[in-house]
Chain A
Amino acid sequence: MTATLVVPTALRGFTERKSELSLEGATAGELLEALVALYPDIRPHLFDGEGALRGFVNVFVGEVNIKGTGGLDTPVKDGGSVMIVPAIAGGAGSFPSAGGGRIR
């Protein structure tokens, strides 16, 4: 079963700048594993050290976030579209870094 995986700009540095990949897999999880098999360096940005999907990584099968449809076991239709969609988080707190380009 083949589906199209849409890669966000942030992760295209790991996919030879490709925004879409045609991959084999029957579930969202299998598709991501196929991606990681092809581009191993992308793994730490998708999964944490225990193999769970990072909290800020969302996967949409069609228009639906898999968080509400069975997670990585969500089935993917042949010819379907799956998107990796980041959620962005951050904010002030402790400050480990200093310096940097700045403008005032």
Chain B
Amino acid sequence: MISLFRDAEALVRSEAEAAYPYECCGLVMGVLDGQDGDLRKGSALVVVANAREGDARRRRFSIGPEDFLRAEREAARLGLDVIGVYHSHPDHPAVPSEYDLSHALPFYSYVIVSVEGGRAGDMTSWRLAPDRSSFAPEPLEVDPGPARPES
């Protein structure tokens, strides 16, 4: 299960709406708990500019290794881990695509928010199966605790 601090969850939505009709993206920082880190609390975001260009950003996002490295170091500075990735699906459901699946990494929570006509709607979270064959849904909840959004 992933629990997103309310401010972090709100920031995902506002970023998704601001980026519309393009996809937004970024990384979720937080802490891991439970067996194998299965209980995670997302307390802050690293907002990343979608590295795809032009109209490709309507259906694709990319976070380059330099941005990822920056996030890893920021998380370490805060005593957190990078625990997931968020992105938006403009005018599409908040479910992973085949493209998401083929490019996914294990362990991370993949948070997806649907944006319909510029307004953020469903938000879901998913995790890659160990054999890379599919995404499994992951329960997602909002935690009212304090957040430390990063940009």
Contact = CB atoms under 8 A, between A and B. Distances in A.
Interface string A50-94: 000001101010000100000000000000000101111111111
B69 A104 contact: no
A85 B81 CA distance: 14
Interface string A26-66: 00000000000000000011000000000110101000010
Contacts of B37: 13
Interface residues of B, number: 59
Contacts, number: 146
A7 to B, nearest CB: 11
Contacts of A83: 69
Contact of A86 (B9, B65, B124, B142): B65
27 contacts: A10-B106, A11-B105, A13-B106, A60-B69, A85-B68, A87-B64, A88-B61, A88-B63, A89-B60, A89-B62, A89-B99, A90-B25, A90-B87, A90-B104, A91-B97, A92-B58, A92-B99, A93-B100, A94-B97, A95-B97, A96-B101, A97-B135, A100-B137, A102-B94, A102-B123, A103-B9, A104-B121
Contact of A10 (B25, B64, B94, B105): B105
Contacts of B93: 95
B123 A91 contact: no
Interface residues of A, number: 34
A11 B106 contact: yes
Interface of A: 8-13, 44-45, 55-56, 58, 60, 65, 83, 85-104
Nearest to A85: B65
A96 B98 contact: yes
Contacts of A11: 105-107
Nearest to B132: A44
A93 B59 contact: yes
B129 to A, nearest CB: 11
A85 B69 contact: yes
B110 interface: yes
A47 to B, nearest CB: 12
B140 interface: yes
B106 A101 contact: no
Nearest to A54: B103
B90 A88 contact: no
B36 A92 contact: no
